[in-house]
Structure 1
Amino acid sequence: MKLEHVTADYQLGPIRSFNVLQDVEMKVESGSFTAVIGKTGAGKSSLLKIMNGLLLPKQGKVTIGDAIITPGKNKKALKSIRKRVGMVFQFPESQLFAETVEQDICFGPLNFGASKEEAKELARKVIKQVGLTADILSKSPFTLSGGQKRRIAIAGILAMEPDILVLDEPGAGLDPKGKLDILSSIASWHKEQGLTTLIVTHDMEDVAQFANNIVIMDKGTVVLHDAVRNVFSNKAIIDKWQLDVPEALKFQMKIEEKTGVKLPKVCLTIEELTESLIEAGLA
């Protein structure tokens, strides 16, 4: 997926925000897991929407495989892109609407041309992928817990069998365990299905644990796109963009300052920190 000189406005009814994206240049490698970070209003959600065709560029183009999104793209052409790029909004459970879980999950596949039996088979498949059992398919989604609703909403996107999955703060509003469960599941789907995945997050623990690339946005543009370890290894970047850092790296910095011993690598997880401390003879 490639964005070339993409500029976009956002309009909802009479309300229009100009240049929510400004001259964005970005290439996302197939199979990568990318975290998108930045301050509120930096353009993170708009970046995901333009990848899905929910927001059209005012200038520039978005290339997804052999499909191209341009300012004049028609709705029929966008439909195929939206099947290919599955978007999970923040608090996706608020979009559940059907009488049963099965009907909710089947809605997307049916809309994209699947037969009723094909859609039901997909529902049975994805409900297991999201860690729920088939008996839940006959239940009303509104009787379920928040975490279950979140999984069902994501299952509805997975049922469309996208190549690219874009998620806007998928752990928002969940307790720490629920959030970890959802993100771990996303990482599993990413690996098992060979997806290209992008998530918007404010939590650097999520970035360190799950992503291999990071995109930093500021004022509607991509200011940095690099490997996670490269970013957290660069104090100048951390200071310039006022990035929080993972807890393991905070501990590493304190240990190095106190002992004067430089650890063999930048540690992004507690496991890495433990190994480095042993290697340096500090544990």
Structure 2
Amino acid sequence: MAMRLRLDHVTADYQIGPVRSPRVLREVSMSLQPGTFTAVVGPTGAGKSSLLKVLNGLLLPQSGQAEIGDITIDGKSSKRLLKAVRKRVGLVFQFPESQLFAETVEQDISFGPLNFGAHPRNVHALAEKVIAQVGLDESILYRSPFSLSGGQKRRVAIAGVLALEPEVLALDEPTAGLDPTGKEELLSLLKQWNKQNGLTILMVTHDMESVARYADDVVVMEKGRAVFHDSMRKLFEDTERLEKWQLDVPDARRFQLEFEVRSGTRLPRVCLTEDELADALIEVGRV
């Protein structure tokens, strides 16, 4: 059975040493269906990254609980239980390439599986599999990760998470700092894994163009609360709500709104891409 994620009235604090951020999550309840590509959006400090950390077991609920498949975690969960969660939910931090450390790419990718008990005889084949999965040549396994380009390092870091063979991949701003080509290539890979392999994707992003092009569903976080969780298209239907949450709209949707105001002609549907916009304009005889 595919694994479902569920949060039940989760409230969480975040503390590093003496620094404590109370209630980074406030009474968050939601269910994420398996095989979906969900974008998590909202302003800085809204609780987006904290949401991913709870689902990965890195941040424990102060109250409420999280269900990761058949595993339930709360504020008293054991290290053994949390380790099982982290194998199921792979977490890719923002700028994950900063965590590369080994002498070769293969050693870096192999570290996680070995730590989770994989047999050394099996990890080479696993490294070959995931390096191909992220679109890199097998020869790169024998190079130092520090000799690679920024985009290659990003892919290697993600390959290290994929090597754990998670059922869910949670990514915090995975395209941050990439050029437009690298960004498009990475997002296309994520969508491919989602569609072809049924991998559940949860992606924090500020880029609403990416949300429109790749996400099935959207979670909007505001002041630690999940204020919206529905389909991507429903999010972009309500422009007043988007303004309230200070969320941008894709270029095609912005053009549509301006066109409808200036022409007095309402297009038959919400348009989120250039192709959708062109089709709608043809339908109303404006092209």
Distance 1:102 1:86 in 2: 18
Q: What does residue 140 of structure 2 align with?
A: 136
How far has the Cα of 1:209 moved from its partner? 0.4
Q: Return structure 1 stretches of 4+ with deviation > 4 angstroms.
A: none
Q: What does residue 174 of structure 1 align with?
A: 178
How far has the Cα of 1:239 moved from its partner? 2.7
Q: Does 1:106 align with 2:137?
A: no
Q: What does residue 35 of structure 2 align with?
A: 31
Query: What do you get for the CA RMSD once the two structures are aligned?
Result: 0.9
**What TM-score, normalized by structure 1, do the two folds share?**
0.98
Q: What does residue 97 of structure 2 align with?
A: 93
How far has the Cα of 1:11 moved from its partner? 1.0
Alignment of 1:1-283 (within 5 A): 1-283=5-287
Q: Letter of the aligned partner of 2:195 in structure 1?
A: K
Q: Letter of the aligned partner of 1:261 in structure 2?
A: T
Q: How many residues are aligned here?
A: 283
Question: Which SS does the other structure have where 1:40 is aligned?
Answer: coil
Question: Which SS does the other structure have where 2:140 is aligned?
Answer: helix
Alpha-carbon displacement from aligned partner over 1:74-117 (angstroms, at most 9, x marks no partner): 10111110000000000000000000000001111111111112
Question: Which structure 2 residue ranges, 5 or more long, are not aligned?
Answer: none
Distance 1:120 1:280 in 2: 57
How far has the Cα of 1:231 moved from its partner? 1.1
Greater displacement, 176-185 / 243-252: 176-185
Distance 2:271 2:176 in 1: 26
Distance 1:118 1:281 in 2: 60
Question: Which SS does the other structure have where 1:4 is aligned?
Answer: strand
Instruction: Give the conservation status (yes or no) of the 8 Å contact 2:43–2:246.
Output: no
Distance 1:265 1:195 in 2: 30
How far has the Cα of 1:181 moved from its partner? 1.1
Alpha-carbon displacement from aligned partner over 1:128-178 (angstroms, at most 9, x marks no partner): 110100000000000000000000000001111100110000000111111
Distance 1:253 1:84 in 2: 42
Distance 1:105 1:198 in 2: 21
Greater displacement, 198-207 / 186-195: 186-195
Alpha-carbon displacement from aligned partner over 1:46-86 (angstroms, at most 9, x marks no partner): 00000000000000000011001111001011111000000
Alpha-carbon displacement from aligned partner over 1:189-220 (angstroms, at most 9, x marks no partner): 12222111110000100100000111110111
How far has the Cα of 1:186 moved from its partner? 1.1
